[in-house]
Amino acid sequence: MPRHFYLLAFLFVSLVTFISCSKKIQFENSNIVPAARGEVTVKKDNNNNYSIRLDISYLAEPERLQPPKKYYVVWLSSEQNQIPLNIGQIVGTSKLHVKFESVSSSKPKRIFVTAEDDVTTQYPSRYVVLETDKF
């Protein structure tokens, strides 16, 4: 068979593998920051970890919330963890578009963002700004 056939077959299999290993889900509309829009992409990597990427637009600065807060914290709920896990802080919210990336060994069941006064908090506050439905 011609060499280009094998190359096309390889590219097709690679593309199907990439697409099937990646899941993208939209955040639900927010009552706290109604203009905020975004999506979460979760992809399993070669080490069986989950790469998590958030793309969010129109997220107001946390100081502008009522009541004002200092940080946005991203949380991961999984079947392995009874308590949501703090996976990091969103920085750069003064721009119209922010990105956040993290890695987890646990398969996400739900991703959500809260407004917090302490970035190292171990428990999410009730100020859920954005959240996904269950994956």
Instruction: Name the pLDDT band for 18 (thresholds 50, 70, 90).
Output: very low
CB 43 within 8 A of CB 25: no
Question: Is 121 within 8 Å of 71 (Cβ atoms)?
Answer: no
Phi, psi of 87 (to 5 degrees): -105, 5
**Residue type for position 64:** R
Q: Are 41 and 21 in contact (CB under 8 A)?
A: no
Distances (CA, A) of 25 to 31, 46, 67: 19, 21, 29
Torsion angle, alpha carbons of 59, 60, 63, 64, to 10: -150
User: Which fold does the domain 23-131 belong to in CATH?
Assistant: Immunoglobulin-like (2.60.40)
Q: Over pLDDT 70: what percentage of the chain? A: 82
Residue 74: beta bridge partners? 88, 113
Q: In what order do the strands lie in the sheet with 108-116?
A: 85-90, 71-78, 108-116, 128-131
pLDDT tens string 28-61: 999 999 999 999 999 999 999 999 999 999 999 9
pLDDT for the residue 134: 80
For the chain, the structural domain boundaries read 23-131
Taking residues 86-96, report their average pLDDT: 85
